[in-house]
Amino acid sequence: MLEHKMPFYLFYCRDIEDRESAAQIRRELLPDHLGYVERNMSRYAVAGPNRDKDAAYRSSTFVIKADSFAEADEVMQGDPYVEGGLYQEILNVEFVPMAGDWVGGAAWKL
């Protein structure tokens, strides 16, 4: 079963519409972004880019462990991709893992 002591917060981040600019920001800030993720690795349950049907990166998803939304948002706001203007929209919700491999099955049966 997925053990956690903190709530999870899911952030779905949509890239800016200008694909060329988004790709350029991703390329230029990738080393800083990855460094930031590595320095904060204990905060992430999972994180990664999302591809569209053409296999181009167009968004990212982060599931952050935090005591509050404000704390999770602070982690997100420090990411160089956020600071660098890659995302036109960031949707966020508290995420409750209930089923799947990561959870260890169906949480209601464990």
Q: What are phi and psi of 60, to 5 degrees?
A: -140, 155
User: Model-level pTM greater than 0.85?
Assistant: yes
Local structure of residue 43 (DSSP, 8 states): G
Local structure of residue 3 (DSSP, 8 states): -
For every residue of 47-108, DSSP letters joined together read EEEEE-TTS-EEEEEEEEE-SSHHHHHHHHHTSHHHHTT-EEEEEEEEE---EETTTTEEGG
Q: Going residue by residue through the chain, which has 110 residues, state the pLDDT in tens, using 9 for 90 and above.
A: 445 567 999 999 999 999 999 999 999 999 999 999 999 999 999 999 999 998 899 999 999 999 999 999 999 999 999 999 999 999 999 999 888 888 788 888 87
DSSP reduced 3-state for 5 = coil
